[in-house]
Amino acid sequence: MILSYFASLSLTSLLNKMPNALGQGLIWGIMALGVYITYRLLDFPDLTVDGTLATGGAVAVMLVRGAGMEPWMALIFAFAAGMLAGMVTGLLHTSLGIPGILAGILTQLSLYSINLHIMGKSNQPINVDQYRLVVSARYISGDALTKFKFYGGVILGCLILVAILYCYFGTEQGQAIRATGCNKNMARAQGINTNFHTVLALMISNGLVGLSGGLFAQYQGSSDINMGRGAIVIGLASVIIGEVLFGKFCEKRKMAFAFTMVAVIIGSVIYYVVINFVLWLKMPSEDLKLFSAIVVAVFLAIPYLKGKYGKKKGVAKQ
């Protein structure tokens, strides 16, 4: 029975799905960068992400469909819409004293209704045959040159974003954000306005998430009210996978911060490769969220288990 099960699996089918996994992983890697900023740099549990991704997609698609805007320009507005969502979460937390996790939930819930108003209904398609989309799943099935342009463009875009973020967080303002996340009390003692920098970091983070949502909507050919559901899990998975697999490599480099951000994007690609592998094994598609949670839990547990059993071995040797 086991032999017949493995015989029914097609390696060709798995290989055919990998280009799509790579494309999705790179696009969602931009979202993972946003999660990295709040989760690691700011130490803020931001759950706005699930709503912001859908907002970015809704804004990008409707500006192209309704206003006739160029798809690449619509992505700028998707980024701006994400920043507005992050600002709302930040102000709820800093100005009204609402705990960070609840502020994110409140904004996320509000965005559901706002996204419906933006789109007019739960789903809005956008056809690559009618518009010159920046990215599209159809490009992957094209000729070799089209595939090269797609992957080359997305990878270059990701690297440019990493370079911009690396330079920005090296500035005085960027360092102030990192100091705020590291120790708020110490940052305040140094004269840093921690409330302002918390809001600013949330705006940058959600702006990246909105940009990713705009790209993903173009990639899949539609914006959907539920397209951001579970995004925070994917973002956290990407961050954790990148840190677990490439953490030691990044620490030994001069540009450790830049390498860490690249590792987060690679972590997103690996996540989608793993998910596609699970689906290839003919696991029930309705259990996909369960498998996602298991993947995150496994990678979260690895550093703890390595530290725990590493200490035991060290004690035993002594």
pLDDT tens by residue, 225-262:
999 888 998 898 899 889 888 877 777 667 888 999 99
Q: State pLDDT tens for residues 297-316.
A: 887 787 778 777 766 665 55
Model pLDDT, residue 25: 93
CA angle 197, 199, 202 (to 5 degrees): 105
Confidence of residue 121 (pLDDT cuts 50, 70, 90): very high
Which segments within 38-179 are labelled E, that is strand?
Answer: 123-125
Residue 260 C-alpha from the chain's centroid: 14
Model pLDDT, residue 141: 82
Average pLDDT over residues 271-289: 81
Both structure tokens of 68: 């006739």
Confidence of residue 94 (pLDDT cuts 50, 70, 90): very high
Phi and psi at residue 125, to the nearest 5°:
-80, 155
Q: State pLDDT tens for residues 170-207.
A: 999 999 999 999 999 999 999 999 999 999 999 999 99
Both structure tokens of 178: 């990192």
Share of the chain above pLDDT 70, in %: 95
Average pLDDT, the chain: 89
Q: How many CA atoms lie within 13 A of 190 on its CB side?
A: 14
Average pLDDT over residues 143-153: 90
Burial of 67 by CB count in 10 Å (0-12 exposed, 13-18 middle, 19+ buried)?
exposed
